Structure 1
Amino acid sequence: MKAFVLRSYGSPDALELTTVDRPVPGPGDVLVRVRAVSVQPADWHLMRGQPYLARLIPGPLGLRRPKVTVLGADLAGEVEAVGAGVTGFSPGDPVYAMPEQGGFAEYALVPAAELAPKPENLTFEEAAAVPLAANTALIALRDQARVQPGHRVLVIGASGGVGTFAVQLAKAFGAHVTGVCGPRNVEMVRSIGADEVVNYAKEDFTRQDSRYDVIVDNAGSHSALACRRVMTRKGVYVVIGGKAGRWVQPMGHFLGAPALSPFVSQKMTAVDVIGCTENRRNLLQLTELIESGKVIPVIDRVYPFAEIPAALRYSEAGHAAGKIVATV
């Protein structure tokens, strides 16, 4: 099968399109014929091995060379074969998943416990845009912030992959949602359900009179202390992402909020989607929301499989409105 293989850290040019052996499903595994895969910041952080600080911490980055050689943490496709003990899936079933790796290939192994039927009203390309970004937003809002009807929620970076899902999920949970984005995406963010939109080119949300029960921070454009100015006394601040850097960021922003939490009245926390053990349950809940029309994936661009390096370059530029997808 064809796959993009990462043998050393570097730019998108480090990815080699080559022929590798097709994976064989073991007990509990499902072999998926990949039809579409998402391209996102998680991929190019792994590709470049940055921030360097992350190489010293147990996780997906190796110290000198990549641990993950086939990137791609979102996929949609069809079941090709199942391993011993797998029930509930048969060859030909349309599915989607958030595996730790392997999406940048024609076939990928996925534990059956993390695989879910594809939403019936989505194409493979649309379904591939969902798992990691929507799962991250779901954990932030449902688990970390415990959003309730009537809560006022601010989504910073509302036009990005996670942000577009966060806006829609917060609305689905009954919240009043304000999105923060750049001028070219104001109408898009409003169209997916935001009650109010702050154009950061014209306004600084930390200087406004509004107060929020929940802030979901996908951008890292302001410090946690600055965001506290517009939070209610018992509000929740959830860090998801931040500005990329070679050495520390966005890890500094990601770790800084929880470190501040014991000293303030608000809950300051961060989302650990990598450590989530409820991926299948979350995907099933997301499927219900998608099939009911409450959540739709927003896709900026779709690339052919051979142009995944170009898709990564576009993702690194940081201008995507919604998700980037490649067809396989």
Structure 2
Amino acid sequence: MKAIVYNKYGPPDVLELKEVEKPIPEDNQVQVKIHAASVNYGNLVLLKGEPFVARFAFGLLKPKYSIPGGDIAGRVEAVGKNVKQFQPGDEVFGDLSGCGWGGFAEYVSVPENVLAPIPSNMSFEEAAAVPMAAVTALQSLRDKGKIQSGQKVLIYGASGGVGTFAVQIAKSFGAEVTGVCSTRNLDIVQSIGADHVIDYTKEDFTKKTMRYDLILAANGYQPISVYKRALNPNGIFVHVGGSGVQMFQTLVLGPWISMTGSKKMGGFLQRPNQKDLIFMKELFEAGKVKPVIDRRYKLSEVPDAFTYFAEGHAQGKVVITI
């Protein structure tokens, strides 16, 4: 089969399209013929080996996983003898980041519990845009942010992969949502249901009178003191993406702020699981959430997809059609 392979950390040009062995499913595995995949921030970390601490998980001197790619959507080709949930022909999607990656390829064999049935109203490309970004948004809002109906929620970086899902998921929970983005993305954020949209190139959201019960930073470069000022008493700030300085401040200062005051500030790392994939499937089928796809690339064009994604201006998700 064809796959994108790399054997050293670096820029996108270290990625190569090669012929490799088709993976045979073990007893508890499902073999999937991949029709689409997508690019996430985690893929960049895997590619570059940065921040350096990530190498303790991905390989200290060279990549532990030779085929990158987390999000996939495709059709079940074969199943191991112990597999109970799926059979050949089923259409599935999933996040492979917790089981060895391998999504930028024509086939993959993975445990059945990392997959879920594709929403009935979605194409393979739409489904591939979902798993990592949508589950990150869901878990950060629901589990870390304790979102409640009627709350005022601000999504900073509302036009990116996580941000576009976060706006819609927050609305599905009954929140009043403000999205922060640049001028070119205002229409997109409005189209997915944000109640208010702030253009950060023209306005400073902290200088407005509104204060928020929950702030999700999916991008940005502000010091966390800026977000703290914008929170209501007992408000919660959750960092899932943004500058390295912002992440460092969240890790170092966030616990101290949380212990010494009523406002809670912390970071969040997504944990892939089938239950939350199924939760998202139900939201999609109910028409409450839809993926936003910016660009589509072929498998042979994955290096170009990474180059574009790394620029940080993608509107929604970047999808790989296989």
TM range (shorter): over 0.9
- What amino acid maps onto 2:252 in structure 1? G
Shift of the alpha carbon at 1:212?
0.3
**What residue is the counterpart of 2:75 in the other structure?**
78
- What amino acid maps onto 1:166 in structure 2? A
- 1:1-328, aligned counterparts within 5 Å? 1-55=1-55, 58-59=56-57, 61-100=58-97, 101-243=101-243, 251-253=247-249, 255-256=251-252, 258-260=254-256, 261-273=258-270, 276=271, 279-328=273-322
Contact kept in structure 2, 1:242 and 1:254, CA below 8 Å:
no
- What amino acid maps onto 1:198 in structure 2? I
- What amino acid maps onto 2:192 in structure 1? I
Unaligned regions of 5+ residues in structure 1, if any?
none
Percent sequence identity is 48
What is the CA–CA distance in structure 2 between the aligned matches of 1:296 and 1:238, rounded to whole Å? 23
Q: What SS is found at the alignment partner of 1:148?
A: coil
What is the CA–CA distance in structure 1 between the aligned matches of 2:16 and 2:185, rounded to whole Å? 34
Tell me the matched-pair count.
Answer: 318
- What amino acid maps onto 2:262 in structure 1? S
Alignment deviations for residues 48-67 of structure 1 (CA, whole Å, 9 cap, x no partner): 11112433xx42x3211112
Greater shift, 61-70 or 5-14, is seen at 61-70
Q: What SS is found at the alignment partner of 1:234?
A: strand
Q: What SS is found at the alignment partner of 1:54?
A: helix
Alpha-carbon spacing, 1:172–1:108, altered in 2? closer, same or farther (3 Å): same
Contact kept in structure 1, 2:305 and 2:318, CA below 8 Å:
yes
- What amino acid maps onto 1:301 in structure 2? R
Alignment deviations for residues 117-174 of structure 1 (CA, whole Å, 9 cap, x no partner): 0011110000000000000000011111121110000000000000000000000000
Q: What SS is found at the alignment partner of 2:184?
A: helix
What is the CA–CA distance in structure 2 between the aligned matches of 1:17 and 1:254, rounded to whole Å? 38
Alignment deviations for residues 179-198 of structure 1 (CA, whole Å, 9 cap, x no partner): 00000111110110100001
Contact kept in structure 2, 1:40 and 1:312, CA below 8 Å:
no
What is the CA–CA distance in structure 2 between the aligned matches of 1:253 and 1:97, rounded to whole Å? 32
- What amino acid maps onto 1:139 in structure 2? Q
Shift of the alpha carbon at 1:217?
0.4
Alignment deviations for residues 262-320 of structure 1 (CA, whole Å, 9 cap, x no partner): 233212122221xx26x110010100000010000000001111101100000001110
Alpha-carbon spacing, 1:127–1:250, altered in 2? closer, same or farther (3 Å): farther
Contact kept in structure 2, 1:161 and 1:323, CA below 8 Å:
yes
Q: What SS is found at the alignment partner of 2:214?
A: strand
- What amino acid maps onto 2:308 in structure 1? Y
What is the CA–CA distance in structure 2 between the aligned matches of 1:45 and 1:171, rounded to whole Å? 30
Greater shift, 279-288 or 264-273, is seen at 264-273
What is the CA–CA distance in structure 1 between the aligned matches of 2:254 and 2:30, rounded to whole Å? 37
Unaligned regions of 5+ residues in structure 2, if any?
none
Contact kept in structure 2, 1:74 and 1:132, CA below 8 Å:
yes
Alpha-carbon spacing, 1:52–1:196, altered in 2? closer, same or farther (3 Å): same
